[in-house]
Amino acid sequence: MKSDAKKSVRNDESEPKASQTAAPVFIFVVLALLLYWGALHIDQYGGGFRKEVYAPFKSVKEVAKLHPKKSGDDVFERGEKIYALACAGCHQPSGLGSPGVAPPVAGSEWVLTPGPGRALLIAYNGLTGPITVKGTEWNLAMLAMGQQLGLSDEDLAAVLTYIRGNAAWGNNASAVTVEQVKAHRPTMDSRTQPWTAEELLKIPETE
């Protein structure tokens, strides 16, 4: 080892130089492709270089659209209306609930199940008794909102689609179809009491 290093100390006159080989063509191809991708990326996600546009929005138009909601028959928007009318009083517009009033639906494991069954039954027939949501225990009672307001299958599908898929709350569960609601109709109609968490846990998550 030692003598090796000494050697290199001695043979030290020549300094690095580069050989004048032609550059490989592929590097230009890769560079061009990446530049093309980059232009597309900035076009799509750059928000037109406007200071009002933050991800996940893509343009000022999209941000502006959020504002005074246009009435439309979009399922999600319909769900939002119903939520504001029937649920937001307790669960808050933010979906975060409020201590002593109602637990959060944003990020709730009762809402983000693969199937909408449990949340649907709660929304229609109400809920009572102890329930654990996001690690916190609640013991309150929720009225049979759906039943009292006479929400239709379409309404229920819309409001559940809204709470399950509300990206602003971080929820991203699948949308709910009218057929899925119809499948639970018999259970919902025959039930006269609010549900308890224990009973609901017996219903498979996927339903």
Return the number of the residue (133 or 188) whose C-beta is nearest other proteins. Answer: 133
Q: What is the CA radius of gyration of the chain?
A: 29
* Stretch of residues binding other proteins (CB under 8 A), selected from 30-38, 119-127, 176-184, 190-198: 30-38
CB of 192 to ligand HEC, least distance (A): 17
Q: What is the DSSP string of 162-187?
A: HHHH-GGGT--PPP--HHHHHHHHHH
Cα 142 to the chain's mean position, in Å? Answer: 25
Q: How far is the CB of 112 from other proteins (least distance, A)?
A: 6
Task: Give me 63's structure tokens.
Answer: 């941000």
**111 lies in the site for ligand HEC, by CB under 6 A:** yes
Name the segment binding ligand HEC (CB under 6 A); options: 4-12, 56-64, 66-74, 117-125.
117-125
Interface residues for other proteins in 167-186 (CB under 8 A)? 167-171
Stretch that binds other proteins, among 100-108, 119-127, 137-145, 199-207 (CB under 8 A): 100-108
- Positions in 111-170 near other proteins (CB under 8 A): 112, 134-135, 167-170
Q: Which residue has the tokens 């199937």?
A: 115
Q: Which stretch binds ligand HEC (CB under 6 A): 30-38, 39-47, 50-58, 99-107?
A: 99-107
103 versus 165: smaller Cβ distance to ligand HEC: 103
User: Rounded to whole angstroms, how far apart are CA atoms 39 and 31?
Assistant: 12
Q: Are 103 and 138 in contact (CB under 8 A)?
A: yes
Is there a contact between 108 and 133 (Cβ–Cβ < 8 Å)?
yes
* Phi-psi domain of 17 (left: phi exceeds 0; alpha: psi -120 through 50; beta: other): beta
Number of residues that bind ligand HEC (CB under 6 A): 30
Query: Which does residue 8 touch among ligand HEC, other proteins, none (CB within 5 to 8 A, set by kind)?
Result: other proteins
Helix axes 75-86, 153-165, angle to 10 degrees: 90
Q: Please say which residue, 49 or 202, places its beta carbon nearer to other proteins.
A: 49
Q: How far apart are CA 170 and CA 127, in angstroms?
A: 24
- Contact positions vs ligand HEC (CB under 6 A): 86-87, 89-91, 102-105, 108, 110-111, 119, 122-123, 127-129, 131, 133, 138-143, 145-146, 159, 163
